[in-house]
Structure 1
Amino acid sequence: MRVTDQIVIQEWELHESFIRASGPGGQNVNKVETAVQLRFNVKNSPSLEDAVKRRLMAIAGRRMTKDGELVIEARRFRVQERNRADARERLAAMIERATIAPKPRKKRKISPNQKRKRLEAKRRIGEKKLNRTKPSVTD
């Protein structure tokens, strides 16, 4: 399965199992296993670089198992072949998204004028709150 020009996932890395889908389909739902469960072992994949693996694991979220396996369930369609294609497309999209490294955050300095304005606003609010206190009664 070709994801990008540099990344090609071998067929032996993908494990598909077929399960019964819920939802519409009449009696067919109870008889035919049309939903697809696609498993891809991200941790041990020789096709992906370490940085891509880390980002893919972060993107996958709860679809990731403790063993480093990505599980994608496709049950949108009533036909097994379309669900297989859908699962593979979703996997390819996730891997493609993981190949793009996030831009590093640029640290910005607060201008002295902004700092002064912020502190003045804090001081004004503090004074306003001080004026709300009840006067103390002294005998």
Structure 2
Amino acid sequence: MDEEQILRELRFKAVRSSGAGGQHVNKTSSKVELHFDVKNSAGIKDEVKTRVIKKLQSRLTKENILILGSEESRSQHRNKELVVQRFFKILKIASVKPKLRKKTKPTKASKIKRLKKKKINAERKANRKDPLR
């Protein structure tokens, strides 16, 4: 994963923040939206792309574009820094290769324990029945 290449591919858009804030909110565009085209990125290898697309499927648009926004700060520059940090954090988590599951068999002791428990439970239920039947 080439972070410098990915940084060049990021597109930013400044928009007005929502919510309360008085006059300042109505005249400044402090919210920052980050747009990243996962499918056409040259900074990510193909095998990682498929993994990222699969894991972030709910966050992607139909064109496989990831959109993240930040409006935590009143400063546009600070929001840009925050959204880039969050983007790389999400990208690193999504690109991690999952560990393969190792098939295991139950031990002999665990099988015996399960069968004993099953027998006790069956006896308990049998004792509930009417003795005349």
5+ long unaligned stretches in structure 1? none
1:47 corresponds to: 43
Greater helix share, structure number: 2
User: Map of 1:112-131 to 2, 5 A cutoff?
Assistant: 112-131=108-127
Q: Which runs of 4+ in 1 moved over 6 A?
A: none
- 1:22–1:124 distance in 2 versus 1, CA, 3 Å: same
1:62 corresponds to: 58
The alpha-carbon deviation at position 52 of structure 1 amounts to: 1.6
1:108 corresponds to: 104
- 1:99–1:90 distance in 2 versus 1, CA, 3 Å: same
Residue identity matched to 2:126: L
TM-score (norm 2): 0.83
Q: Is the 8 A contact 2:56 2:94 kept in 1?
A: no
Identity of aligned residues (%): 37
The alpha-carbon deviation at position 32 of structure 1 amounts to: 1.1
After superposition, give the CA deviation of every residue in 1:88-133 in whole Å (9 maximum; x if it has no partner).
Answer: 1111122222343222222121112211211221121122123223
After superposition, give the CA deviation of every residue in 1:34-85 in whole Å (9 maximum; x if it has no partner).
Answer: 1111110111212111222233234435321122111111111111111111
5+ long unaligned stretches in structure 2? none
| RMSD of aligned residue pairs (Cα, Å) | 2.2
3-state SS, counterpart of residue 116 of structure 2: helix
- 1:111–1:79 distance in 2 versus 1, CA, 3 Å: same
User: Map of 1:65-80 to 2, 5 A cutoff?
Assistant: 65-80=61-76
TM-score (norm 1): 0.80
Q: 1:89 aligns with which of 76, 85, 90?
A: 85
Residue identity matched to 1:14: L
Aligned length: 132
Q: 1:32 aligns with which of 28, 34, 38?
A: 28
d(CA) in 2 for partners of 1:129 and 1:48? 60
